[in-house]
Structure 1
Amino acid sequence: MTFRSILFGCALAVLGHVHAEAAPFCVETSGIPLRCLYTDPTSCQQEANRNGGRCAVNPAEFVPPVSALPYCLVEAGGVTSCVFADHATCEREVARRGGACVASTPVPPPGRPPSPGADPYQTKRP
């Protein structure tokens, strides 16, 4: 009986760990590793506010969009708006609408081929 309960506890710990890494939103606090436990950016931001951090996207789950402007707002459902010229404006919009502010990938200069191995049709999701 004890062996089964230990085995069951280990299985739950592994499953919980896999779920934590698969969540698209993370709380980022200075000096603490990312805590990627949130599927909803609003709940992520609320927890970040309680801990003095910020809500960020999970780098393992999100590929930053290519945009001419440097910052994007990522909202629930993968809605991304890359319309912010500075981080402060993006963060104000995060406070108003929820979500996470992320840095975009700069648009390559015209006439320059894409980097080797880049897939222009890659699916991007937060």
Structure 2
Amino acid sequence: MTTTPEHDAKFVKMTFSSVYPHYVKKVESKGRTKEELLEVIHWLTGFDDKQLQELIDEKATFETFFKRAKLHPNAHLITGMICGYRIEDIETPLTKQARYLDKLVDELAKGRKMEKILRQG
């Protein structure tokens, strides 16, 4: 299933700071911690806590967020369905990267073991 241009366009303008509190709420409501969420984000993007806070403070869009990120070499191992889309079939890089993050947050919230989330075998 390919994404629509409208679907892809929303990630260009959406700010990370608008979504981040929802990520925190989602994982904490399922018994996980903000620290675990930060570990997942760090693994995917390479951002440390300070860099992440700077992106939040400047209200960086997902486009800017992922342009500055250094995606983990194993990010391509993130597969499966998210929001009705099969991640490995998404062709637009920004949309795929945003869905990688969504998938990792979902896995964390669902109680998956950290070594599985971080694709460590």
More strand by share: 1
One fold, TM greater than 0.5? no
Rg larger in structure: 1
| TM-score normalised over the length of structure 2 | 0.25
More helix by share: 2
